[in-house]
Structure 1
């Protein structure tokens, strides 16, 4: 992986992975127009504007993995890429992001994490073409109950679902024929969970008190598992999922995905 600190221009069709970290003022001007075969881009910049970001993406037609960390100045992220398979957007408390639009028909894994559960945080819009998604992680994404369920319903092939830190969520309904793993953590006011997923075999819920479960045709050999909120076992499961299912092997990337 190449790390850019002061470089302005990177060129080379053989380059497949780049990590850009820019906290300089004025911001570094990054030009990777020549890296047309790039497959992985990690971007951590509190200076990059919407225009710069979208110009950057437009030059990467073969991009398969995109990791965005702490890009505070971005207000609108619009991703349209037929090759993209993994998308991670990780925010902290201070962010200007209002809209995240995704049109990526090959997308398999989408992880969105935030440092604060904020009603003014960004809205996620997913195009109908993103029907191949298999893994979805939402951490402190503020949305009405119906909006969450509508988002999940866009992914008929979804197998792995993680809902974390939805402190205002009281009821949750999941109907997905392909879902195999459902993990709920940090949803402190959750009172009822209804699941209709005949292939579900792993269901873990962590909270202050066990919500009322209604699960149809569950195949899980161990049944439902509820754990006290003080248990941090789910964090280990989360990291195992990132490694074994999403396929993230880089320790640095794993460490930057905000989960606490």
Structure 2
């Protein structure tokens, strides 16, 4: 999100520059018309004016396709500022979003019952208006904070209206309260237009006869499932490409086969699940997540096209590390959460290009036999010895966070870290140290010393594609109080980082369409001051952070005062008040 905001500002700057250049061209054309008036010249000026807004000349179906490829409704709304025609086509695109939480947040007066009633009336009126203006719906999003059985007939009516309007995508979310769930009507499972369905908090009692021939994406979240429910979907949805099960209960055995178009499968925290058996010849991505306390056996035989594999479960990872990873001839990306007691891990696959390892507290040795590996990331409590043969890495990231003070402070960490780091070109490394609300950002790995703090976390970056903005902005997500920037003398690194933080913009536009709780650090940073640590007491608002902050400041003064480097300390002041609340009325007026 942080880097996205920067990209948005850059993109807006480019748009302004392009607009200015087009304006200059128009002035030059106008001056020539004054010199040689005539019908031909007037036609040329009309063509010049029309060329300024080329984006509005795209066919309707192309613009609608662009809307469909965007991540969410907010991004699609944002594009409506490109031109008046795009704004009109946004309405014809017919994406209807009804979020009860956001709607009620915009109503200051009234009790809970009246607010919920106003929301239901708003949905009914909006659907009726849409029928009169445009009989087709591209996507319907309905999020209700809780469900009352008395509201079932009304929800049935809304879905009946949507079904009659050739709906293509449906996103239904019902908050679960007192085990009351909305049961989807039988007619919901018969449609020749639906291409995407996301259900959360529903019941699937009536899904015996499913006919969804165009369905490509199916996501089931917080739903009580049985094996026959899944088999009914598979038998009635032969076009499924993306299949996801998130926090579903009841399902013990997941078996998927005979879906030739299946490209991605996600299974996250389905705690009663015992086995996952997939046979999909075109499966590209599989992502499994589960709690350590659960046990599950995963079988991916027949998935020979697999390119991305993510296993966030220690027991499943242990089984795959034995002999499964080498069985996928096209595997390029591997993300593994290791068991706590695993001491050694060996990975061998000729096509792997990226590996991520995380989780083990006892890991001491990593052997990787991958001739095409370009990126390696490790996150854990200790730094293992890593042997990559042959060594062709371009990118690397090490993240270490340990509760063992001896491990963090000892020479063993730097000995093993340097053994890995020295295999690279020494240029391009960045180091970030963090303890509580204090952060130090090093431009390189010279003059490194670790502060004596038990909660210290360490991140080392090496990547030609990793931008400084991304490293700095990711460090500011935790809202640190003190940021220490360290670089060799004569470097502009201090100035660059200070400028990024200090001049973030008075009114950040990066998260205009995000919810208040999901905005980036720019919206909360009130002020930045340069802090002189000599002869001053460092004050923090949280008493729990005070001892660590004092130790941090003493470490800065003692270790870097006499070294051949330059250092600046920035005191950051944050505001945690949520200033903007997005309401349903705002969405309605877009």
What is the TM-score when the length of structure 2 is the normalising length? 0.36
Match of 1:18 among 189, 197, 200: 197
Partner SS, residue 206 of structure 2 = coil
Do the aligned partners of 2:196 and 2:218 also contact (CA within 8 Å) in 1?
Answer: yes
Offset at residue 2 of structure 1 (A): 0.5
Does residue 49 in structure 1 map to residue 226 in structure 2? yes
> Which ranges in structure 2 are unaligned for 5 or more consecutive residues?
1-168, 173-181, 402-456, 462-469, 472-513, 519-590
Aligned to 1:117: 292
Do the aligned partners of 2:366 and 2:386 also contact (CA within 8 Å) in 1?
Answer: yes
Do the aligned partners of 1:117 and 1:165 also contact (CA within 8 Å) in 2?
Answer: no
Q: Deviations over 1:171-205 (max 9, x none)?
A: 11111111000011222222211101111010111
Q: Deviations over 1:139-165 (max 9, x none)?
A: 024147454332212211111000125
Do the aligned partners of 2:317 and 2:338 also contact (CA within 8 Å) in 1?
Answer: no
Do the aligned partners of 1:183 and 1:205 also contact (CA within 8 Å) in 2?
Answer: yes
Does residue 139 in structure 1 map to residue 312 in structure 2? yes
Do the aligned partners of 2:340 and 2:362 also contact (CA within 8 Å) in 1?
Answer: yes
The whole-number CA distance in structure 1 between the counterparts of 2:344 and 2:240 is 37
Aligned to 1:2: 170
Offset at residue 167 of structure 1 (A): 1.9
Does residue 29 in structure 1 map to residue 206 in structure 2? yes
TM alignment of 1:56-95, pairs within 5 A: 56-80=233-257, 81-91=259-269, 95=271
Partner SS, residue 239 of structure 2 = coil
Q: Deviations over 1:40-60 (max 9, x none)?
A: 000124422112222222211
Aligned to 1:240: none
* Stretch of structure 1 that moved more, 158-167 or 142-151: 142-151
Match of 2:346 among 162, 173, 177: 173
Does residue 126 in structure 1 map to residue 126 in structure 2? no
Do the aligned partners of 2:191 and 2:211 also contact (CA within 8 Å) in 1?
Answer: yes
The whole-number CA distance in structure 1 between the counterparts of 2:372 and 2:304 is 18
The whole-number CA distance in structure 1 between the counterparts of 2:374 and 2:356 is 11
* Cα gap change, 1:180 to 1:143, in 2 (>3 Å): same
Do the aligned partners of 2:201 and 2:223 also contact (CA within 8 Å) in 1?
Answer: yes
Larger proportion of strand: 1
* Higher relative contact order, structure no. (Cα contacts within 8 Å, ≥ 6 residues apart): 1
Aligned to 1:226: 398
Aligned to 2:390: 217
Partner SS, residue 229 of structure 2 = helix
Aligned to 1:196: 369
* Cα gap change, 1:232 to 1:212, in 2 (>3 Å): closer
Aligned CA RMSD, in angstroms, stands at 2.7
Larger proportion of helix: 2
Do the aligned partners of 1:160 and 1:179 also contact (CA within 8 Å) in 2?
Answer: yes
Do the aligned partners of 1:22 and 1:28 also contact (CA within 8 Å) in 2?
Answer: no
Offset at residue 226 of structure 1 (A): 2.5
Which has the larger Rg?
Answer: 2
* Stretch of structure 1 that moved more, 152-161 or 102-111: 152-161
* Cα gap change, 1:221 to 1:88, in 2 (>3 Å): same
Offset at residue 32 of structure 1 (A): 6.8
Aligned to 1:241: none
The whole-number CA distance in structure 1 between the counterparts of 2:460 and 2:365 is 22
How many corresponding residue pairs? 230
Do the aligned partners of 2:276 and 2:299 also contact (CA within 8 Å) in 1?
Answer: yes
What is the TM-score when the length of structure 1 is the normalising length? 0.79
Q: Deviations over 1:100-154 (max 9, x none)?
A: 001000000000011x213x51100112x21111100000241474543322122
